Amino acid sequence: MKPAYFIFSIIIFSMFTNCRSHKDLQEEAPAQFQQAYYVSDKGQMTFFLPVIAIQNNRVELKNIYFKGLKSPIVKDENVQNRYTAIFNVKQSDFVMSSDPKEEYGNKMPQRPVESPIKIEKNQALLEYQEDKEIKYYLLDNIEERK
């Protein structure tokens, strides 16, 4: 009888722990956003997230998962109320030299990163911190602009 109880307990425990990752996906946005979009140019993709209102003392935007990549999202210094994330999507030409100083400017391509929650091609996953807890919010209908 005890082995059956033990196995049953493990099954119930595993069911609750598997649902944990979806529990962090929030239905309510951590801020008021406008339509998110991205621009691709010269092997680089820039993700833009316009923000109407955010409580900076409570919410801190951390990372964006988009198109199989992860990048930190930072406040845009040039445009008020906009956050950006830069992705290196194309491998640039490397300078190969016997002098290490000449190779200093080489940029490494970004490695693919699987997002904690499955997302579609036109979606992005926003990782943010609210009251010292990491949470996620799904952004839909991300469009490409020229």
User: What are the structural domain ranges in the chain?
Assistant: 26-144
Q: Which option is the CATH number for 26-144: 3.30.2320, 2.60.40, 1.10.10, 2.20.25?
A: 2.60.40
Residue linked to tokens 């529990």 = 23
Tell me the pLDDT tens digit for each residue of 23-49: 578 888 889 999 999 999 877 899 999
Angstrom distance (rounded) from CA 89 to CA 40: 9
pLDDT at 18: 47
Tell me the pLDDT tens digit for each residue of 112-121: 788 898 999 8
pLDDT at 23: 53
Q: pTM for the complete prediction?
A: 0.72
Q: Considering only CA atoms, which of 78, 88, 85 is closest in space to residue 36?
A: 85
- Give the β-pairing of 32-33 and 44-53: antiparallel
pLDDT at 15: 52
